[in-house]
Structure 1
Amino acid sequence: MSSTAQASQAFNKILSQPKLSSKARTAQEIEEGVKRLRRLILVEGVPSQEDATLRPRIWKILLRVDDLSADKYLSFVARGPSDFRDKIRNDTFRTLATDRGFKERVREDMLVRLLDAFVWRNQERPHATFDFTYVQGMNVLAAPFLYTMPSEVEAFFCFSRFIEQCCPLYVQPTLDGVHRGLKLLDRCLKIVDPELFAYLRSKKLSAEIYAFPSVLTLCACTPPLDQVLKLWDFLLAYGVHLNVLCVIAQLLLMRDEVMACPSPMRLLRTLPPLEALPVIGIAVTLVRDLPAELYEELVRHPFEAINQR
């Protein structure tokens, strides 16, 4: 049996024992199963080519999504264009525009429909901690869910849970979480590689200037898409805050070229093709180099407003 087949078998064993998809499962069974899933994602990676059903099943479990009411989704869709339709359409046509596989699987109307439905959904949540409409970057954050999930309904509920629970501050009108993430990137880089940080600063380059797209989209803007999905397996398992360290990891992988370039923004404007495994490996090691207080701030920045503390 090949290693990928063995990994697929290991994932399927966890997914079925205990039955994480069963509504009769206990909280302890869920947590134990999720812990094993996280460990396997880090050690083996999700062998999606061996079993195409694995990634959608795993993402739904990691996001705790079990309410998949097609009627509810269709009721939002039936309302037609939201007040943000023009803004949505201004972004959706260029979503992952250079990825042929994405364009073949995900039509623009699917993206538009999902994003409109998300706006309608959140007009029914008057007592929610955060208000949600449509903001820049949401189209790219929705794209992996529509590409991965077997149905638009599943993509909608996974995307909604992801936005509302994992990174609500990234999609506020001020993009507060994104800007905080960029500031944290600078602070983390200064600790893990002070020489690279100083060189970039000598060129008047802060993370706000060179890393905004990567932080805003959780690296989904950097092809190829199959590597983005592997990176997202990791982020969904361990927390989207780690994307900041994944961006630093990409910088470290191209460190020599950056340090030798008199105009490094030329290199940083378009990052090299994403390689998920080395990026994840470096990001995990960087965690150990950060002071506990800074790491705690990093953990909380996508979802906890400063005035909530």
Structure 2
Amino acid sequence: MPPSSSSAVATTAHSFNKILNQYRSSAKQRSAQDIEESVKKLRRLILVDTIPSEVDPTLRPRIWKILLRVENVSPETYLEYVSRGPCEVREKIRNDTFRTLATDRGFKERVREDMLVRLLDAFVWRNHDRQEDQQLGFTYVQGMNVLAAPFLYTMPSELEAFFCFAKFIEDSCPLYVQPTLEGVHRGLKLLDRCLKIVDPELYNYLRSKNLSAELYAFPSVMTLCACTPPLDQVLLLWDFLLAFGVHLNVLCVIAQLLLIRDQVMSSPSPMRILRTFPPLNAGDVIGIAVTLVRDLPTELYDELARHPYAVAE
């Protein structure tokens, strides 16, 4: 890495650490306004600079915990869930976990299948105990293994991964993991509606081929793009989604479409291209997604923002 580049990364790492230190000191003083101000600074910095985890590997886990508002992790609680053994849907979990990010060698080296199974078992047990206290119930559903993967890869311990994953699922995208995958299907319908506004020509061409988002974007919406390698780019995209809202993943999928627009428009069978998106480039995708926000009517954007968690009345 050239000195100037190395210096810039070190400066960015220092900026992130400065905000994290401010957050920690304000958290001790219990000033809600100071805490929120630190979170806003974190969000702005994430949008301007990527988290330099290659310089300081502790940055991303610390930032994710702040963005998710995960403050207390209880080893006793997690161990109690684990001690119960297999949950009632263990077989369903095992049918998925062995193929989680199967082509990513770095993931396979860091995250063993038994860690993923144990975390998902514990999540089911956690919500088995909390059913009466929650409007929405949770169990294991398709895609949850892929949503858990970035947490196990990023966090320094399985314990922290569990509490971050649980908070993420229960607060950020609870409708995505209902048995009907209600939030995912809402997201796919919103993707079509947003695409029709931001690129009517592309939308009409796909519709002329009987292609809706349900057919080509289901995995990307369901897993918040974690199914599209490489993993290091997925993590950069998730920095953005955790900072500004998982609803923006719908626009990130549209951004990936726009990056291959010419190929799609010139293909007589675009589904062949759309079956597998090109390797993820988080910087390009985020840049396009942010500009797309401005093109959406306020009412549609509000609906987009609420779709991962707002129960229909």
TM-score normalized by the length of structure 2: 0.97
- SS of residue matched to 1:131: coil
Q: Distance in 2 between matches of 1:272 and 1:65?
A: 33
Once the two structures are superposed, residues 177-205 of structure 1 have per-residue CA deviations (whole angstroms, 9 ceiling, x without a partner) of 00000000000000000000000000100
Assess if the C-alpha contact under 8 Å between 2:176 and 2:183 holds in 1. yes
**Counterpart of 1:78?**
83
Q: Does 1:15 align with 2:15?
A: no
Cα offset, 1:29, TM superposition = 1.6
Assess if the C-alpha contact under 8 Å between 2:172 and 2:246 holds in 1. yes
Segments of 4+ moved more than 3 angstroms: 20-25
Once the two structures are superposed, residues 103-139 of structure 1 have per-residue CA deviations (whole angstroms, 9 ceiling, x without a partner) of 0000000000000000000011122121000000000
Cα offset, 1:20, TM superposition = 5.9
* Identity in percent: 76
**Cα gap change, 1:219 to 1:202, in 2 (>3 Å):** same
Assess if the C-alpha contact under 8 Å between 2:26 and 2:35 holds in 1. no
Counting only pairs closer than 5 Å after superposition, residues 28-39 of structure 1 correspond to structure 2 as 28-39=33-44
Q: Distance in 2 between matches of 1:21 and 1:227?
A: 31
Of 177, 194, 216, the match for 2:200: 194
**Counterpart of 2:49?**
44
Q: How many residues align?
A: 307
CA RMSD of aligned residues (A): 0.9
Counting only pairs closer than 5 Å after superposition, residues 208-223 of structure 1 correspond to structure 2 as 208-223=214-229
Assess if the C-alpha contact under 8 Å between 1:20 and 1:61 holds in 2. no
**Counterpart of 1:280?**
286
Assess if the C-alpha contact under 8 Å between 2:194 and 2:296 holds in 1. yes
**Cα gap change, 1:18 to 1:107, in 2 (>3 Å):** closer
Assess if the C-alpha contact under 8 Å between 1:19 and 1:25 holds in 2. no
Query: Aligned AA for 1:72?
Result: T
Unmatched tracts of structure 1, length 5 or more? none
**Cα gap change, 1:170 to 1:296, in 2 (>3 Å):** same
Counting only pairs closer than 5 Å after superposition, residues 1-309 of structure 1 correspond to structure 2 as 2-19=7-24, 22-125=27-130, 126-307=132-313
Q: Distance in 1 between matches of 2:243 and 2:277?
A: 24
Once the two structures are superposed, residues 53-81 of structure 1 have per-residue CA deviations (whole angstroms, 9 ceiling, x without a partner) of 00000000000001111111000000000
Q: Distance in 1 between matches of 2:25 and 2:193?
A: 39
Once the two structures are superposed, residues 238-261 of structure 1 have per-residue CA deviations (whole angstroms, 9 ceiling, x without a partner) of 000000000000000000010011
Q: Distance in 1 between matches of 2:167 and 2:23?
A: 23
Q: Distance in 2 between matches of 1:102 and 1:176?
A: 29
Unmatched tracts of structure 2, length 5 or more? 1-5
Cα offset, 1:288, TM superposition = 0.2
Assess if the C-alpha contact under 8 Å between 2:138 and 2:178 holds in 1. yes
TM-score normalized by the length of structure 1: 0.98
Q: Distance in 2 between matches of 1:180 and 1:51?
A: 38
Cα offset, 1:21, TM superposition = 8.2
Assess if the C-alpha contact under 8 Å between 1:181 and 1:244 holds in 2. yes
Assess if the C-alpha contact under 8 Å between 1:227 and 1:274 holds in 2. yes
Q: Distance in 2 between matches of 1:167 and 1:18?
A: 25
**Counterpart of 2:3?**
none
Query: Aligned AA for 2:259?
Result: L
Cα offset, 1:272, TM superposition = 0.1
Q: Distance in 2 between matches of 1:264 and 1:25?
A: 54
**Cα gap change, 1:20 to 1:258, in 2 (>3 Å):** farther
Query: Aligned AA for 1:200?
Result: L
